[in-house]
Amino acid sequence: MASLLLAVIYLIFVSLGLPDSLLGAGWPVMQGVFKVPSSYAGFVYMSIAFMTIISALVSPKIIKRFETKWIVIISIFFTVLGLAGFSFCTEYWMLFVFAVPYGLGAGAIDSSVNHYVANNFSGSVMNFLHCFYGVGAVISPNIMALALKYARWNEGYRWVSFIQLGILIICVLSMPLWKSNSGTEEEERKNSAGIRETILRPGVIFTMIAFFSYCAGEATCFLWTSSYFAGTKTGMSEELIASFGSLIFAGLMLGRIISGFVSDKAGDRLLVRLGIAFEFLGIILVMIPVANYFVAAIGFVIIGSGMGPVYPAIQHMAPVNFGKKYSASVIGLQMASAYTGTTTMPMVFGQLQQHFGIFIMPYYVLLFAVMNILFLEITFKVVGKGRRQVE
């Protein structure tokens, strides 16, 4: 039963990854269809992420009141609605209407399932969980590439909504599997602390800033990688450019597979440090000014591989660093700050690249990689100091 439940949880994270990379993959074509500047992708992305922030902030209250399985089912339904809605959009403004369910679903799934896994499974499981997020995120740009080749961008969203609907049906059928952990989950929900109490805990603010920085860089890569290749490299078809949207996700998946095998021995902190070191290496490769796309493509895969262990490791450390009582609210705050970075920073980059050129993208990502490791190290120091004082 536990193995089947874990398989369903992994599938849930495939569903979480599916919507995230579609906009970046399809935007070079969508921009022309809607007759808007390239930077306008940032406004749509911001709207989706803003709704995700709202759902992440209220997630501690939702987690305290409802079982994880119900949160998951309702959230996936929202993402199905958002994806299907995007597929019917004929005007730019219509994207903002369906960005509401699109974003609301993602934040609630992310917070509730991360909290559930962080409190009930090992770091290895957490890394594999986020690896399956990468599976979903790698699949969807390639679905979009097929849609652009054989149909239209709308069909890319429609086909992914069908896959999402299939996952929703599986989740509904798997509801009896969650009974095995219902007693433990109910006790954790009753004892969890609120947002106001949690934010005052030493180190919480710093981990929020670190998460903001991580997701600012990650989301910029999600949205602008295909456009980076379109603007800096030559001799590529629309389908090839769209498929490059999966490079960062392929790297994420690779990094999390490797981390899944070594995380229990290496520990979360070492994985974070090694991951960000690899991210720096990938950024340097992307910075190399060559017309051919191959070196930059390898660079983006390495960036994604380096980013891979960072997100799940920070989430998994929440109960250890701050205690199980605070973990739901810490994760909710982390998700809210993460999606604030997701909301604002790709849009800021959209404006910057319009003035300076999209070639500045690796420098922009580098800034947030530096901020990420800086504030994580401060968090580790503050948390460690707090423990020594208690001892």
Instruction: Give 29-55 pLDDT, tens digit per residue.
Output: 888 888 888 778 878 877 887 888 788
Tokens of 129: 């969980």
CA–CA gap between residue 384 and residue 386 (Å, rounded): 5
- Is the pTM of the predicted complex or chain greater than 0.75? no
CATH of 2-386, one of 1.20.1050.10, 1.20.1250.20, 3.30.750.24, 2.60.120.260: 1.20.1250.20
Are 260 and 121 in contact, with CB atoms under 8 Å apart?
no
Q: What is the pLDDT of residue 185?
A: 52
Q: What is the pLDDT of residue 334?
A: 84
Q: Could you tell me which residues come within 8 angstroms of residue 1 by beta carbon, excluding any fewer than 6 positions away?
A: 177, 180
Q: What is the pLDDT of residue 391?
A: 39
Please check the confidence at residue 187 and state whether its pLDDT lies above 70: no
The pLDDT of 226-247, averaged and rounded, is 79
Are 164 and 12 in contact, with CB atoms under 8 Å apart?
no
Q: What is the pLDDT of residue 230?
A: 83
CA distances (Å), origin 153, targets 146, 156, 252, 268: 9, 5, 25, 39
CA–CA gap between residue 190 and residue 84 (Å, rounded): 36
The distance from CA 340 to its chain's CA centroid, rounded to whole angstroms, is: 12
Q: How many CB atoms lie within 10 A of CB 324?
A: 17
Q: For residue 101, give the amino acid letter.
A: P
Are 162 and 270 in contact, with CB atoms under 8 Å apart?
no
Q: What is the pLDDT of residue 252?
A: 84
Q: How many CB atoms lie within 10 A of CB 360?
A: 14
The pLDDT of 58-74, averaged and rounded, is 78
Please check the confidence at residue 390 and state whether its pLDDT lies above 50: no
- Residue that the structure tokens 């999966």 belong to: 246
Task: Give 1's pLDDT tier (boundaries 50, 70, 90).
Answer: low
Nearest-10 Cα torsion for 260, 263, 264, 270:
180
Tokens of 185: 């989950």
Q: What is the mean pLDDT of the chain?
A: 82
Phi, psi of 366 (to 5 degrees): -60, -40
The pLDDT of 85-107, averaged and rounded, is 88
- What tens digit of pLDDT does each residue of 252-307 get? 888 888 888 887 787 888 989 999 999 999 999 999 888 788 888 899 999 999 99
Q: Could you tell me which residues come within 8 angstroms of residue 130 by beta carbon, excluding any fewer than 6 positions away?
A: 13, 252, 256, 308, 311, 312
- Residue that the structure tokens 């790297």 belong to: 251
CA–CA gap between residue 262 and residue 71 (Å, rounded): 31
Q: What is the pLDDT of residue 281?
A: 95
Are 386 and 203 in contact, with CB atoms under 8 Å apart?
yes
Cα-atom radius of gyration of the chain, to the nearest Å? Answer: 20
Q: What is the pLDDT of residue 129?
A: 78
- The pLDDT > 70 percentage for the chain reads 93
Between 62 and 376, name the one with better pLDDT. Answer: 376
Task: Give 137's pLDDT tier (boundaries 50, 70, 90).
Answer: confident
- Residue that the structure tokens 């219902």 belong to: 182
